[in-house]
Amino acid sequence: MSHRRHPVSGAGLGLRRALLGPLQAYDSEKVAEVVSFMEVAPENWINVGGQRKKFFNYFTERYPFVCHGLSLSIGGPSPLDRTFIRKLRQFMDEHDIRAYSEHLSYCTDDGHLYDLMPIPFTEEAVSYVAGRIGQVQDMLGRRMAIENVSYYAAPGAELSEIDFINAVITEADCDLLLDVNNIYVNSVNHHYDPLEFLQALPGNRIAYGHIAGHYNEAEDLIIDTHGANIIDGVWDLLDKAYELFGIFPTLLERDFNLPPVAELLTEVQQIKHIQARWISQGQTHEEQAQEQTDGRRLSA
């Protein structure tokens, strides 16, 4: 399975407003040694000016950036916010943003719901969402990636989660933001094998990945919080994803309970360590795939 070129590379960090000061105050060379790219929610920065924009420019001048949206509501019943999409395109052009991703969910219904709601896993929803993704891609003049999301109920489901995701990606001809933690969370909450789910995803569509911490509410209920350290089971699943799909750029999400910068960098460094272990195998996933192809040609 061959990969197209990823928009960024290495290990990344989500840039939250609360991190602007601490990251600037920290040793910039040490940050740059670990962090290869950064991500922001564009809604938090579009139309921002003054000192905050100067802070933002400090980072965009030093790091490649990707955007992960919060409010597009790709599966929502309300019309797409075309004004926002136009501003998003301008924002991406201005700051040389490498990629745009959004959640495969919705957050509006005649107003913002302030949460990410699950889209019904139906054929009708596949066509509806894929059509809206196509409109967004046309307006942006870029491909977008959709993220496999955590969810806690599946109302009106006619398809499995994995079949729904794959159908949307195929029909929309878009990319995938692979959230490893969400697979782990959903596998516990909805009682499925995370490895089987991972294996069924279209690895050649991966633009980049997310990894994050969560909260165990009960033995059979995990809440996707992005507010804790990453557990071993999630690290293991990321390692397996690299084995299956080759190394893809992967970003640490941490939204609250922010630890000191040094501790954040330790987790980003762990991403780099896992990536380096696969690099040390001596060949890339693409080279392995090419060897398999060449072998089939020789045996034909």
pLDDT tens per residue, range 162-189 = 999 999 999 999 999 999 999 999 898 8
The pLDDT of residue 130 is above 70: yes
Q: Name every residue whose Cβ is closer than 8 Å to that of residue 245 and which is 6 or more positions away in sequence.
A: 1, 3, 203, 204, 206, 285
SS3 156: coil
Per DSSP, the three-state class of 117 is: strand
Determine the average pLDDT of the residues in 97-126: 76
- Asked, for residue 4, whether it belongs to a domain, the answer is no
- Indicate the pTM of the whole model: 0.88
Is 26 within the bounds of a domain?
Answer: yes
- Decide if 36 contacts 12 (C-beta within 8 A): yes
CA 266, chain centre distance (Å)? 20
Q: In DSSP terms, which residues pair with 218 in a beta bridge?
A: 221
Q: Give how far the C-alpha of residue 74 lies from the chain's centroid of Cα atoms, to the nearest Å.
A: 15
Q: Which residues contact residue 237 at a Cβ distance below 8 angstroms, ignoring those fewer than 6 apart?
A: 180, 183, 184, 194, 195, 198
Query: Rounded CA gap, 136 and 82, in Å?
Result: 9
Name the pLDDT band for 102 (thresholds 50, 70, 90).
Answer: very high
* Residue 3 falls inside a structural domain: no
Q: Is 43 exposed, middle or buried (0-12, 13-18, 19+ CB in 10 A)?
A: middle
Residue 4's nearest CA partner among 208, 274, 288 is 208
- Rounded to whole angstroms, the Cα distance separating 256 from 18 reads 9
Average of per-residue pLDDT across 288-294 = 45
Tell me, what amino acid is at 255? D
* Angstrom distance (rounded) from CA 229 to CA 44: 24
Q: Is the pLDDT confidence value at 151 over 90?
A: no
In the chain, what percentage of residues exceed pLDDT 70? 84
Is the four-CA dihedral 67, 71, 74, 79 of positive or negative sign?
negative
* Distance of alpha carbon 243 from alpha carbon 179, whole angstroms: 16
In b/e form, how buried is each residue of 99-133, taking b as 16+ CB within 10 angstroms? bbbbbbbbbbeeeeeeebbbbbbeeebbebbbebb
The answer to the question of residue 115 being in a domain is yes
Strand locations in the chain (E): 11-14, 37-40, 65-68, 97-103, 106-108, 112-117, 145-147, 175-179, 206-212, 215-218, 221-223, 250-253
The two tokens of residue 74 are 């790709």
* Assigned domain for 219 exists: yes
Instruction: Indicate the number of domains in the chain.
Output: 1
Mean pLDDT of 24-38: 96
Q: Which of 58-62, 116-120, 236-240, 282-286 has the lowest mean pLDDT?
A: 282-286
> What pLDDT score was predicted for residue 4?
61
Residue 2 forms part of a structural domain: no
At 196, list the tokens.
């089987």
Q: Is residue 60 part of a domain?
A: yes
What tokens does 2 get? 């061959």
How far is 249 from 271, CA to CA, in rounded Å?
9
Query: Domain range holding 260?
Result: 11-299
202 within domain boundaries: yes
Residue 235's domain is classified under what CATH number? 3.20.20.150
